[in-house]
Structure 1
Amino acid sequence: MAQLERGRNLPSAADLEIMLGFFGMERRVPGIRRLVDAAQEGEDWFAPFEGAAPPWFNLLLAMERVADTCTGYVASVVAGLAQTRRYSEALIRYLEPHLTDEEVRWRVDLRASRQQNFNRVDVPTVHWIVEEVMLRHRRLGADIVREQIAHLGHLVRRPSITGQVMPTDRGPHEMLRAWAREIDAVPYAEGLAVGGVEGPLDRRPRPAGVAHHRRLFGLGTAAASRS
């Protein structure tokens, strides 16, 4: 089990049925089986972008592609799934100024490819909460930020996507204490150097952990404004 939790081994069909049944996610067995089969055959969709993101990020990339639901709280930058190419490029150059033009383009291409998720037949339901202050950042360029905000406005007009803004005057709120994005009842947290299920040091999505993150997100949803 420890090897499965760390992503070192792939689960068997029996393992999948037991684990997904434990979390009440039996309906996800066929989709996750397809994901495991693809991994066994070396067919991960993000394989052409190997090196554009750290290895620990592969788990998120895989989960996104088969998810029914994705929720997340964004405090400082626009979620990768919603970034325009210009915003992605400006952000990457700002955070990693040592990268070559080719390395930057590679990373931007990966982020853009993640957005193919919105073109799936079984499009996922997405719900983001963003901090108002994030929408006011101008360090990446005022025109780039305006274009990004317009793109967010376009996205939230889709019936499958909900966006909310946490007003600055709300002050400190519960979600600042701890929040991971949730993908099909699996909380996923990340930092600058590491990421994983239910936090960098604990990769076991226990029911109590899922309930905790859902409670925080519920409090955030109640406090934030609809976009």
Structure 2
Amino acid sequence: MVATSSPALLKRWIGLNLRQLRQEAGKERSEVMQRLGLSRAQVGHLETGERLPSKPVLEILLDFYGKPDRLPDFLRIVEAARKGKNWWDKLSGAVPPWFDLFLGLEAGAAEVFSFDVYVVPGLLQTPAYAEAVIRADPELTDEQVQQRVELRLGRQNILARTEDPVRLWAIIDESVLHRPRGNTEVMTEQLDYLIKLCERPRVDLQVLPLNAGAHLAQSGGFQVLKFPSEMVGDPGVVYLEGLVEGRYYEKPDEVALYERALTRLRVQAANQEDSQAMLRQAAQEVHK
């Protein structure tokens, strides 16, 4: 059974396991539709975790798949997913609907891989740097800015949790180190913080030099989330963020493409020792 407090990941586990049990039983989705009297979309929502199954639905499905003994486990996880609370619920005004799913998946991730070309990754931002980035939107009120800063800093708790802290591997374009955000003090603090983060055993940070040339991720930054080992068969999720929505890629071939891009970026980026030297050099240049 999956051990997590993230409702989003619990729902994902339920959907993933229902799909796997169906496939192992040799059943087609059309057969499930007929057995439950549901549409293809409704069955699809059950298998993606978008819709939680009721006890009667679980009883029918697990019996149909020849796994009635799994009912107690499923019922416990469904109940936990329904009752689960997210720490960011109090900041609902700062969370667009499309970002809520990402927060839930990120909170339950075992590994986070990211590539950023414009700003320091949100998980590695200082409070002042985060505020400077968020204030780039002149339409936001001071209250909205502070809520979004609080949200961004709250996400960083996954790096410090005592049980199973997330592993973060971040690659940032060298231009990020030289693009001003806030004043000199803000940039100095941010760069110094990145240097300190490099000492953490579960944080890997590489800088992609400006002279690295062409690469597979020239269209922009992205994140790949990988989940705990209990999520057997889950390929992970790729997340791309835009101005009006977030885009998710979850098919195995889609995730694999972005993982290949990450592999190439790691090769083209400076190694960790050289990346730290680039961070120190950038910090010195800020002082000039």
TM over 0.5: yes
Say whether 1:147 aligns with 2:193. no
Cα distance in 2 for partners of 1:122, 1:50 equals 27
Output the aligned Cα RMSD: 2.6
| Superposed counterparts of 1:39-188, under 5 Å | 39-41=81-83, 43-94=85-136, 96-120=137-161, 121-177=163-219, 180-184=222-226, 185-188=236-239
1:190 to 218, 238, 241: 241
Alignment deviations for residues 3-23 of structure 1 (CA, whole Å, 9 cap, x no partner): 368875246897xxxxxxxxx
Structure 1: 5+ residue runs without aligned partners?
Answer: 15-29, 199-204
Query: 1:215 aligns to what?
Result: 260
TM-score normalised to the size of structure 2?
0.64
Asked whether the 8 Å contact 2:238–2:255 carries over to 1, the reply is yes
TM-score normalised to the size of structure 1?
0.80
Asked whether the 8 Å contact 1:179–1:216 carries over to 2, the reply is no
Q: Which has the larger radius of gyration?
A: 2
Query: 1:202 aligns to what?
Result: none
Aligned pair in 2 of structure 1 residues 193, 163: CA closer, same or farther (>3 Å)?
A: same
Q: SS at the partner of 2:200?
A: coil
Q: Aligned partner of 1:187: which letter?
A: V
1:142 CA displacement: 2.4
Alignment deviations for residues 68-116 of structure 1 (CA, whole Å, 9 cap, x no partner): 100010010111111111011111112x112221111111111111111
1:180 CA displacement: 2.9
Cα distance in 1 for partners of 2:145, 2:49 equals 27
Cα distance in 2 for partners of 1:67, 1:181 equals 12
Aligned pair in 2 of structure 1 residues 39, 175: CA closer, same or farther (>3 Å)?
A: same
Structure 2: 5+ residue runs without aligned partners?
Answer: 1-42, 59-72, 227-235, 276-288
1:162 CA displacement: 0.2
Alignment deviations for residues 49-78 of structure 1 (CA, whole Å, 9 cap, x no partner): 102121111111111111110001001011
Q: Percent identity?
A: 37
Aligned pair in 2 of structure 1 residues 139, 46: CA closer, same or farther (>3 Å)?
A: closer
